[in-house]
Structure 1
Amino acid sequence: MVGQINLNFKTTRLLISLMVLIFAIQNSAAQNKKTLLFKHLTQENGLSDPTVRALHIDKDDFLWIGTENGLNRFDGTNCITYKKTKVNQSNIPGNYLTNIIEDKNGDLIIGSQSNLVKYNKKTDNFSLYNFSLPDLQQNYYSFPFYIDKQDNLWVYLAGNIYRHNSKKKQLIKITEFSNGYQFKSKPFYQELNWFISRGVKGIYINRIEDGKEKSATEYFMPSSNKNSLISHIEDVYIASDTLLWLAGEKGLIKLNPINGTYKVFNSHVKIKNIVCTAIAKYPNKPLLFVGTNGSGLLIFDLVTETFINHYEHIESDPYSISANYIRRIYIDSKSNLFLGIDGYGLDYTNLNQVIFPRYVTKAENKDNNITAILKLKDQVWCATKNSGIKIYNHDLSKTVSTEFQHLGINKLIQLENNNVLIELANGAFYLFQYNRNKFTPLKAIFSNNFKGKVDIHQMLKLGKDSLFGATEFGIARVQISKNNTIRFDLLNEPNISITWPNVQQLIQLPENKILVQTYYTAMYLFNVKHNQFTFEHKTIRTPYATNGKAVIGKYLYLATTAGLLKYNIEKLSEKEELLIDAKCTSLITDEHNNLWIGTEGGGLNYFNRALQTFKSYKNDPANINSISSNLVKMLIIDKYEKANLIIGTHRGMLNILNTKTGKFQHISNSKDEKGTIGSAEIVALAQDETGTIW
């Protein structure tokens, strides 16, 4: 008995020692992954807009934040906004910022979708760059990116890259091979002999000799002979003249620009087909920070050439990143890391700050914005960013089914006979045949045998049978055939009449007229008969994105990133009227042709056209009957209960507003159960003929 007891004691002691050793190893390994403790700057604490486009730390350690709706200066505590308004239209930068650089005097040069300005820090004043070229008088896109040793400014302006000598007031054209976003190869105030420009797809490497362009070499473009890979490139890290790291839709790409060889990295543990959106070098370590669309923040080891760490949004952790779509990464000289999170503002932390990691279940990780809402018959379909399509009954009280689980949905387009065309985030298309209750995959075919994902910004039905697409390569006729293919044929006539055929919107006007808006640049008027486009004239400059439109009588209303704008269709060349000075996300009309407008930060707005009055619905934490968030994403009117407005807001909340009582009903999606969306942000809504919400 004594021997047995001693044996058990020794065995127990051995087991305890092994468990302690295993725990120590695991704890040591866990601490090797630095857990970053993020703070958040949002509209609630002063940021003018939740989508960050440009970041810069100046010599006085102020952080300048360029958003899609205003310039902000952040001192670590307070946020000051510089923004064009009805009252202030002087020399303030355009509200949609593109890039911010700093000269040797500490002054800022700021590009936007509508002008180029310099900020004098000593006088706290903005001055507008004045150019003599006709296209650079007003509402032009600018992207400043370099200052050379002669103090010349290198800048992209309305379709071309120029070198600007401010003393001589001289503007010298360098190249037209660019899509409006550049990456410099050297620190400022040196001789610039090459730089990188983004294309619609891929990149150009622009080589300079004696101040003139020597060559422009294409990589990852449809017309490039060097690479079989075709990919949109969002960001670039230049390691050396012979090594580039590119963040693109196909993943993280390692490129030798001299011989054209490349390698793609797009998986980490269980994450496959990573879409990379931002990139930055980790200070003093052989690591890269890589931002993604939907997969959070990754760290890439340059020695082993593998992704080693992964940071995601965790709903239960207020110090995790705000969401998993990262648009910008910026690291300053003090190892402060800043992340521009799409639609959620700015996250920031210090890389020298370490806390112990906390492990969470997969169910806790929720970042699933709603991208489309469609109403078909008695159902409501909600398309989400990461979790497919949630189908509800007409009043959202019950989930009917979930389709395309774990997949992102871009668009839901209602066709004839209640059929629905579905575009997935990966570029795949499906057709839902209502009578057969069946989803059928479609093979996508593009003009000129183009292979790869094409950005389809919008689709417009003309009549019963004609469907047109606004694509990054121009206007395309869209045909769905019986052999399960969807074909996009680029049209010659409208596209050759457009200066830059990256088409964002097709807006149908009375009398067979269509306005064609190119991406953040201009609108063109066409006459369309029997599906034939006839060019009439260029109408207005449009340095904004259009998120909704309504044509009522002789007036055109546009919900844009620059606000709610009103145009006289008969006099489109005249200046627009600004009705709402806020970034507008959606626009619909009710049965009386009054307007409902969703905004980012300004809540839901109602415009009574007859009385010319506005009413605003905003979140009130003390009122359970108020709207759930001031960030409104999508709107539709219930076809069968016309007093009800269905609203998709921030973090995936669905709201039903009874317009007679002014009360909101909230459909919470926070539970991770069958039939719920999760923290899904709505980007589109639809209701079928039976009342079901899609």
Structure 2
Amino acid sequence: MSAMIDSRRRWRLRRGALGALATLVIALRAPLAAADQPPRAERFSFRRLGTADGLPGDSVYCMLQDGSGYLWLGTFSGLARYDGSRIVVYRPVPGDPESLPSSLVFDIHEDSSGTLWIATDGGGLARYSRDSDAFKRFTHDADQANSLASDRIFAVADDTYGWIWVGTADAGLDRLDVVNGTFAHYGAASGLPSDTVRALLCDGDGGLWVGTTAGLARYDRDGDAFTAVASIGTVTVRALASDDDGAVLVGTEGKGAFRLDASSLGASPLMLGTGSGRLLVRALAKDDYGRIWAGLDDGGLRILDPGSGALASVRTDAESPGGLSHDAVRSLLVDRSGLVWVGTRGGGAAAYNPRSKAIARLAPEGGLPPFEIRQILEASDGALWVCTDGGGLVRASARGEINVFAHDESDAASIPGDRVICVAEDRDGRVWVGTDGAGLARLDPSTGGFERFARNPATEDSLGGDTVWALLVDETGVLWVGLEGGGLDRFDDETGGFAHHRPIHGDEGSLSGNSVRALLQDSRGRMWVGLWDGGLTLWDPAAGKAIARFKPSSDADSLADASITCLLEDGSGRIWAGTGGSGIDRVVEVGGDIRFAHLSMADGLAGNDIVGALEDGRGDIWMVSGRGVSRLEPASGEIRSWGPADGFQERFSQNAWAVASDGRILLGGPAGIDSFRPGDLEHPAAPPPVVIADVSIVAHPESDAALRSRRTRAFRAALNQGVIVLRPEDAALTLDFAVLDYVDPARNRLSVELWGGPAERMELGSQSRAVLGGLAAGDYELRVGGATAGGVWNREGARLRIIVAPPFWQTSEFIGIGAIAVLLAAFTFVRSRTKTLETRAERMRTLSMHIQDAREEERKTAAREVHDELGQLLTAAKLDLSWLKSHPPAPNAFAERVGEAIVMVDSAIDSVKRISTRLRPKALDTLSLSEALRWQLEDFGRRSDIECRAIIDPAPEEVGEEAATTMFRVLQELLTNVGRHSGATGVDVRFAAEDGCMTLEVRDDGRGLPRSAADSPESLGILGMRERVRHQGGEFYLESPPEGMTTGTKAFVSIPLSRDGTGSRQRE
């Protein structure tokens, strides 16, 4: 061992100041070797709250946690309400009688009904109303004998009878009757030692204690007077607090603190250290561990354990961010989570978590910045090995002997580098050390010297890289080396060389990455290789190839992250893989198929960057991250977390952990080693209070700002009633939530659930604000749950009923009126439509009768012409032919008779033509439409002696027979009407075919057709023309002159060339 000692000496000569590192390991090793070592000094680390966080002032003279869980702080610059993330400040507002009456707040008290009372200096007493978020003032009125005796108030309390007691600075003690608002006054005549009251306390038995500048007094209810406590004397009493057994703790000015027996009134001094009998004690409190805290006027804190007599003194440490902010302590408070709050004059407030004493911090001392601890190993001989980043390797034997191994350039047998990352012990007891940049080394226990292994590009079987992240000795005794950028190396003990395993493109049997960060051989002999750049590889150490490779994919049960930092097999054979940013994965094997189950911050982990995973003696899984430590109970699935606010250091190193043989867990990082027993972190944890801290309206932009402000104030007042009504003009609500647990408020978690719509829980994480909008009219319930940073949930939390009023058009009144209006409109429409249909049906019946009459008249005319004309002509022709048959031919007579017969036959032929033309225009069979229209117009001109002027364009060949007949008949009927009724002397006709339709315009210069007649259902000829054209998909219009004018009549006809009507053209 002499060589080992020499190595240590050389190192210490060069770095003598670093000998504190040995002290660190001695302190670490000692509890492992002996259980009777004295406890280490408690580290007092405070979390500060000051003006930079929103406090109105840095002098905090009083503090209170109310029944809802809010923390109230009284300063010399106003009153503050704190919920862990937001601070609401109350100050006097000129002209507002409901604002805080004075900025100088000396005391805050919550009575048995939950009402807050604020004692101010110069502003009297104020009662705070949560419903209106306003204050009611009680002040001195010289004209009212039963008003407050003085506006300078130092203390306030309530007793079991509901009286409010008010201690004044210069007028004794007042008792307020809350019902009638009157005050009764107590002074020297009532037995008070002084008119200046500094402290008040109502104990658990209902007794009232009054601390004055001339001693302590107790109220005698039977005599309605006060009795001075002689054992305290005439000293100024500054602080009063209750002890667990009913005793009273008394803090004085200049005589220290006492414990007063409430029955015998005997006082015993509290031993608060040097000069305790002369201390000015401004505040007293008792923590959850039974220790008495005393805040001194200008001497910081004294913390006394009455059972053991142990005393701690805490003073200001300006250089430490976790030190006490100021030595002038003015108030103390122990909140419901056990935190001790310290209010100071000039340093704001600071909170200390007494539970952090369960975590021992082992770090170098003497002002030297600590080395980062990289790995911890408890060897088979009980020795503890500690790897440091820059301090070399430290060994602490089971007997407490310390050896420090450091690099010495003049000694080839020294450790190759001081930046030591990992350490492992092989089956022969040899220690292997991996360094950052200096390769691998093996320690020979007999000499204390190191054999070095480094990368040599000229040698194939040299080490694959000089930065070693992981070491593993497998079940066969083979050493595996995980390298940064060099893959995985296997050491051959016989040759002293290394076999290299690196990723090969396209080879599924090779590694999936080059940077190996973690190695594990499971109970089945398989090796798991965690890679920073390639996920996870399942390795067959005997075959030297990959069994399977795992990387993230789109599958939900694939590996969560490609960066693996640590590996663990627990006692149940489950494999755990910590990732660089996605939490931790558990390997799930079913029928040879490997999948992954995920845990992350969403499930309660302290952080997603997992740097270590271990199992304690109880089978619980501990996950170490950059933000804290989490514990999983596999049986229940419950996750609890702890962080810096609980006493842990800010950050831990990758794989720098160990479970010591005595059950303690050791975690290394930049600040040294944190050591704790898992059971010491256990403590009863009640579900935290969850509140809806604030609400504001998000109104439409065009809404009035003053209206929005009034609506917001109304909403805030309605929060305490638990019901908010949203109007249609309220676009949305902004809601602020809070978990009123102050251990580590930044890591508190929230969830919200809205009932009344789709019941879906939304996890907000640490986000404490949500905007709720777009709700349909209805009745909803918002349920807010919350969890502490440690993972204790309150699923019931806070509830808020939200009634969304419908817009006026959705109200029952509007819907009723609308329904009636719709019914009336429907009735009117149906009635009108029915009348229209009846009128149309009547017109159709009239038109049908007209058509039948016209047909009958046409038949009669045809029959009459056939009978009268053709019959007579044919009869005469028959008689002539009979005569010719019965008489001998005489040339002249015969010729005459034949001539007469020919004339009669011609007449008969003309009659037949006329009748057939009336029944069917033959011109349509022999002529084109344009020629037929021209013939019709010429025929009309010959018969009527009316001048006809025409522009007739050629008709397209594709004109159908029905359309042509319709156009011909309409022109025929129009000309007939002109000849019969207009008295016109001329008529103009224009026929054209364009844009997919035929158009006909007929204009006369007659007297014109009255408009009433044009639209009259009695005008059957016009109705017939209109229906005939509509049947062809066309349009028919008549333009009549205004009443009293004779400008003739114009008719317009448009018929599409196709029957779908797409060619119809509007008149111009």
User: Structure 1 length normalisation: TM-score?
Assistant: 0.43
Higher relative helix content: 2
Larger gyration radius, structure 1 or structure 2: 2
User: Using CA pairs below 8 Å that are at least 6 residues apart, which structure has the higher relative contact order?
Assistant: 1
